[in-house]
Amino acid sequence: MLDEGAGERALRAAGLRVTQPRLAVLGAVHAHAHATTDQLISAARTRLAPLSHQAVYDALRVLTDSGLVRRIQPQGSVARYEARVGDNHHHLVCRACGGITDVDCTVGAAPCLAPGHPADGAGFVVDEAEITFWGLCAACATAAAVTTGETAGTAPPQTTPLTAHPSPPERQTVD
Ligand SMILES: [Zn+2]
Ligand SMILES: [Zn+2]
């Protein structure tokens, strides 16, 4: 979580003018890793109510251009934004649910990977490799295993309550 003072210092250190929309959007990106623009509009509006879509787009562009925010866009996904910048981390992307998880730089320093032939001999100076690992997250892999592994399964899938305070189960004993 980014408090207002830290947000102001970050904007100034990046040479940016401190404005309320920029503070609200930067705070929202810090609070919601890999959020979409729509999610950030909602989150930023909880901090600054009269915030237009255009103001959020403008703030995201400025924050991304200045390096305070990183924009990623896995294939098939809308753009996502994150505040974890400059550490050359990579992403695990779930093909089933679209969930995105950070993973550290594989070898600990950019560019993390060396290109194969013929790029290694072409005089190309590589400074970054942006790696997306595709597959299934743990929950989706488990669900897939259950679906394919059970032929006569009758039990409903386990679901996690979405509410913070789920009501107690209303199960009746019948015997
Ligand atoms: Zn998944
Ligand atoms: Zn990330």
Residue 147 CA to ligand 1 centre (angstroms): 14
Same domain, 136 and 100: yes
Same domain, 99 and 139: yes
Same domain, 75 and 33: yes
∠ Cα 172 173 175 (to 5°): 145
pLDDT in tens, 28-56: 999 999 999 999 999 999 988 889 999 99
Q: Which ligand is nearest to the CA of 97?
A: 1
Residue 169 CA to ligand 2 centre (angstroms): 37
Whether 62 is in a domain gets the answer yes
pLDDT category of residue 7 using cuts at 50, 70 and 90: very high
Neighbours of ion ligand 2 (CB under 5 A): 82, 102
Same domain, 70 and 114: no
Task: Provide the strand spans (E) within the chain.
Answer: 35-36, 70-72, 80-82, 90-94, 100-103, 132-135
Residue 124 CA to ligand 2 centre (angstroms): 26
Q: Cα(139)–Cα(148) distance, rounded to whole angstroms?
A: 14
Q: What's 72's domain CATH number? A: 1.10.10.10
Whether 164 is in a domain gets the answer no
Whether 30 is in a domain gets the answer yes
pLDDT category of residue 20 using cuts at 50, 70 and 90: very high
Whether 123 is in a domain gets the answer yes
Same domain, 11 and 78: yes
Same domain, 56 and 28: yes
Whole-number pLDDT of residue 154:
45
Residue 141 CA to ligand 1 centre (angstroms): 7
With tokens 């251009």, the residue in question is 65
Q: How many domains, in total, are found in the chain?
A: 2
Question: Which positions ≥6 away from 18 have C-beta within 8 Å?
Answer: 8, 11, 12
Residue 96 CA to ligand 2 centre (angstroms): 18
Residue 72 CA to ligand 2 centre (angstroms): 8
Inform me whether the pLDDT recorded for 164 exceeds 60: no
Q: Which ligand is nearest to the CA of 81?
A: 2
pLDDT in tens, 58-95: 999 999 999 999 999 999 899 999 999 988 899 999 99
Mean residue pLDDT of the chain comes to: 84
> Can you tell me the mean pLDDT for 1-21?
92
